[in-house]
Amino acid sequence: MLVEAHEFVRPFRVGIGQIKPFKGDYKRNLERIGVLMAQIVQEALPVDVLVLPETVTTGYFIEGGVRELAMPASQLLHDLAQLYADHKPNRGMDICLGFYERYRGEDYNAALYATLEPEPAQSRILHVHRKFFLPTYGVFEEERFVARGSRLDVFPTRFCQAAILICEDVWHSVTPMIIALKGAQVIYVPTASPGRGFQGEQVENVAAYERMLTQIASEHSLFVIQSSLVGFEGGKGFVGASLAVDPFGRIIAQAPLGQEALLIVTIDLDDVAIARAQLPLLSDLRSVLPDIALQINAIVYQERLA
């Protein structure tokens, strides 16, 4: 289903928070998020949307601890809303962050998008994305501990038509294709990526994310905002190097390796329209969508017969 057109506040500014979480300690991680909120409020930083990494509220490699630490999105909203209000802000701020969610009896690796207001009761959830692709190979064992999400949605915010993809979701080209076709202008990508491949000039998985995210942005002419964990969990080091990519596929901001940071980038939706006019790949894709759907349906049918 395509989202409807809205009038948006533009341009707007995104704060990318690169954080080192305390493994399994929700309270301390919430306090760490509060420190970032305090900085934004007290220094009057121009942040309209704060984007934080995958599983930032608990850490990533908590395995069976997911069952104890997963919570409903409504509980996380309550805690974030009160935390934000405690700093006496004079305006609202949107937030996108990863957490382990309890939903209808299942646990998910999820990301919440909410609007936080000076009055906590007015804060509200706009969307929850549940990770679509769960890595279960190498050091990853997500399918042992969380359920797979089943939807790829675009949702309207005050600022843009937005979508969320979590980490492994962007390693598959079909997911950004679907949300671009559904009308996304900005993709928020919370990640938790352990460093690997340190032999060359660049860390291997950092280079991989640069390739993927710039390709996604340029092919579909949209903004891609990544926020990545840093720190160590069980001997595994998260690299950081969070990225912001514009609709022309240019990296417009990048956080340092292995360090906590706050980047602020300006998002102008006019760039989306300009990029799509200059390189109309998305409209070309839309024009052949019925034929693509036929091919996919044929594959699904063959798989069912196998």
Q: Which residue ranges make up each domain of the chain?
A: 12-279
Q: What is the distance between the alpha carbons of residues 227 and 236, in angstroms, rounded to a whole number?
A: 18
Tokens, residue 227: 């926020």
Rounded to a whole number of angstroms, the CA Rg of the chain reads: 19
- Of the candidate CATH numbers 3.40.50.300, 3.60.110.10, 3.10.20.30, 2.120.10.30, the domain formed by 12-279 belongs to 3.60.110.10
Asked if residue 1 has pLDDT above 50, the reply is no
CA 270 to chain centre: 22
Q: What is the distance between the alpha carbons of residues 237 and 255, in angstroms, rounded to a whole number?
A: 16
Asked if residue 4 has pLDDT above 60, the reply is no
pTM of the complete model beyond 0.85: yes
Provide mean pLDDT across the span 151-179: 98
| Closest listed residue to residue 260, CA positions, set 33, 12, 6 | 33
Choice between 279 and 138, residue whose per-residue pLDDT is larger: 279
Amino acid at residue number 223? F
Return the beta strands (E) in the chain as ranges.
Answer: 12-18, 49-51, 93-103, 106-116, 124-130, 155-156, 161-164, 186-191, 223-228, 230-233, 236-239, 243-245, 251-254, 261-267
Q: What is the distance between the alpha carbons of residues 222 and 233, in angstroms, rounded to a whole number?
A: 33
pLDDT given for residue 6 in this prediction: 65
pLDDT band of 5, cuts 50, 70, 90: low
pLDDT given for residue 236 in this prediction: 86
Provide mean pLDDT across the span 51-68: 96
Asked if residue 175 has pLDDT above 60, the reply is yes
pLDDT given for residue 8 in this prediction: 83
- 3-state class (DSSP) for residue 95: strand
- 3-state class (DSSP) for residue 173: coil
CA 52 to chain centre: 8
Provide mean pLDDT across the span 117-121: 98
Q: What is the distance between the alpha carbons of residues 203 and 94, in angstroms, rounded to a whole number?
A: 32
pLDDT given for residue 197 in this prediction: 61
Across the chain, mean pLDDT equals 95
Residue 164, φ and ψ in degrees, nearest 5: -125, 135
Of 49-63, 134-148, 206-220, 276-290, least confident by mean pLDDT is: 134-148
Q: List pLDDT tens digits, range 80-99.
A: 999 999 999 999 999 999 99
Transcribe 201-236 into DSSP letters: SS-HHHHHHHHHHHHHHHHHT-EEEEEE-EEEETTE
